[in-house]
Structure 1
């Protein structure tokens, strides 16, 4: 028998305020046509002052727990991926723990920007398969609107706020191709820091800072890196692109999604796309897209999924999952 981490529930949360390109164009020198043509984005959700990364993460977690039919008290591990924590410390995961009224469990944050959820998945998967924990909440949550320069039209139109979560459970499996996380592969290359970063931090400027990005260079690296890591993760699982039912990608840019799919000879209809409705929600985008496709019936139990993302650092990664 083999211990495997199985996704038994998904959930997501979005702030009620939904901002269209047309509304954004009233405040920023841009237009709906300009944004859609370059990114595919039409809407994004923006957090209200009383909404935080932690509150959105807790809401998504409650939805995932309900989906799994699991009580919060049954969770013994919380791994939360975010680049926009509620506080410098403690970890926002501990705030989620408190909001869920869990008396005691391991809870910590992972910082890998847009790849954070994939990093969190591998960490939680390793801990579950080691037999140390039984059930984990793995969360991606962001309030990127708080770190945007709203005078920079090249970046402020790209991002939104939200959260997504999954419940992972360690289960015995005698079937190599059975349900669960089959393979993960992560990468990082800090030489590209200046292509996508925030120009602040406690130990440097003592400020939160604002997001800065060289979009053209990020696009080029994203297409190459994402196609490569998806191929690597499938190879680790002993599978090939034609075996894949659905790709659940980081929702950064519709053109990146199209170009990555073409590199792997995957039909566009196998790619889950939510960037038009949510924009780029960084670490939240993969679990948000996953929950959307599970709830609308596209993704079903037994489907083979590839989750992938790339973000600042650069960091990038992929996971092959039998749902």
Structure 2
């Protein structure tokens, strides 16, 4: 079986940071959920201002091109794309990404599921394709553009949920090599929780039907409590599962990189897994909840800050939506002791 490595990651954040006051001082900014630990406001986040998912991917990939060469990136056999607010109905972003970057992949998949943990899901897909076909390399892309579009609507902006998300894009370069091997994965698709988080319109219409109400996420006190319970449980479970497969304790993880939903989850996850804050990078205060882009962007920041050494055990983990997906991946960075 071929060894597959996450060779490199890079990220891009659009525009200047947007302060919390953009939301907290918005006219009529009142919401009974504002004091929930789910919606404690980060100081900063970034917003797209007209940029598409493809624009963000194009900018996020540039550091990979600079480090590995344009020809190498253009030769990828697999392109996986997750857009967390699709730009257009019917057509995914993957084909335009391929056109912009000059790619001619044998495999091109727009991934719609796995939300905030879709980087792990796509890493698993890339690993399986590279192991079982003649493909040798893959580009996996997470673009998040909902913050500057959905959550800045005049009515939605007043809600507690609006101040949490931020926009950005993270990408990963995966190859059949022993550079930074993916040692194992643990993933769960939990159909019982499917549909528990939904977009709603107060006038009851479907999103494509004409009307004046504004699309938002349908949070209630009960649903928030459910998401908190599931998230607190699921991420430590999948991280522990992948560590057990490798016969290591969670306390031996050198760097845990998770999605960044809120401070409560970040604190509870590292506490449950026995890790100090310095081994669990946190981008929430400067970027907000980046949804699917959080894992690659947070890992990229840790790498550029020198927080990852050759031989380190790096574990990526997260969960999606109201818990319908959870996944973790273990990587031996630099390939030492793979």
Shift of 1:24: 2.7
Equivalence for 1:322: 332
Shift of 1:209: 4.0
Equivalence for 1:147: 150
Kept after mapping to 2: 8 A contact 1:7/1:167: yes
Shift of 1:242: 2.6
Equivalent-residue separation in structure 1 for 2:163 and 2:103 (angstroms): 37
How many residues were matched structurally? Answer: 313
Shift of 1:251: 0.6
1:102-138 superposed Cα distances (whole Å, 9 cap, x missing partner): 2454222112211211111100111112243111111
Equivalent-residue separation in structure 2 for 1:40 and 1:301 (angstroms): 35
| RMSD after superposition | 2.6
Shift of 1:243: 2.3
SS of the residue corresponding to residue 273 of structure 1 reads coil
Equivalence for 1:15: 14
Equivalence for 2:48: 47
- Does residue 77 (structure 1) correspond to residue 86 (structure 2)? The answer is no
Equivalent-residue separation in structure 1 for 2:97 and 2:48 (angstroms): 17
More strand by proportion, 1 or 2?
A: 1
**CA 1:104/1:124 → structure 2, altered by over 3 Å: closer, same or farther?**
closer
Equivalent-residue separation in structure 2 for 1:81 and 1:225 (angstroms): 22
**CA 1:140/1:37 → structure 2, altered by over 3 Å: closer, same or farther?**
closer
SS of the residue corresponding to residue 270 of structure 2 reads helix
**CA 1:250/1:158 → structure 2, altered by over 3 Å: closer, same or farther?**
same
Consecutive unaligned residues in structure 1, runs of 5 or more: none
Equivalence for 1:137: 139
**CA 1:278/1:35 → structure 2, altered by over 3 Å: closer, same or farther?**
farther
Equivalence for 1:181: 182
Runs of 4+ in 1 over 3 A off after TM superposition: 33-40, 67-70
Equivalence for 2:318: 309
Equivalent-residue separation in structure 2 for 1:187 and 1:117 (angstroms): 14
Equivalence for 2:336: none
Equivalence for 1:241: 250
**CA 1:87/1:125 → structure 2, altered by over 3 Å: closer, same or farther?**
same
Kept after mapping to 1: 8 A contact 2:23/2:157: no
